[in-house]
Amino acid sequence: MTNPIPKNDRTEIEAAAFRRLVAHLRERTDVQNIDLMNLSGFCRNCLSKWYRAEAAERGFEITDPAAREEIYGMPYEDWKAKYQTGPKQDHK
């Protein structure tokens, strides 16, 4: 059996894993949001909404465009113009 991870360390590990996931999604611009939704039930836009909701729970107001930029690494409209393929695939 492994030793339990202290709460502060656990939070740091979870935050690092989240940052790693976001970095991975930023690198994999070939993977469309619709592909993510079809396979996993969530996409980059979902992550940005979860990020925004968690910030709001802690008293930080973040606009939808600002939350998306945190996930995409650039303004969402720029990402769509540069990387989105096929018909408009904007998961709400």
Taking all residues of the chain, what is their mean pLDDT, rounded to a whole number?
92
Note whether residue 42 is domain-resident: yes
Give the CATH number for residue 50. Answer: 1.10.3340.10
For the stretch 43-71, pLDDT in tens is 999 999 999 999 999 999 999 999 999 99
For the stretch 76-88, pLDDT in tens is 999 999 999 876 5
pLDDT at residue 51 in the model: 97
Note whether residue 88 is domain-resident: no
Domains of the chain: total? 1
Domain range enclosing 19: 7-83
Note whether residue 27 is domain-resident: yes
Residues 37, 49: Cα–Cα separation, whole Å: 14
- Long-range CB contacts for residues 78-87, cutoff 8 Å, separation at least 24: 79/29, 82/29, 83/29, 83/30, 84/32, 84/33, 85/32, 86/32, 86/34
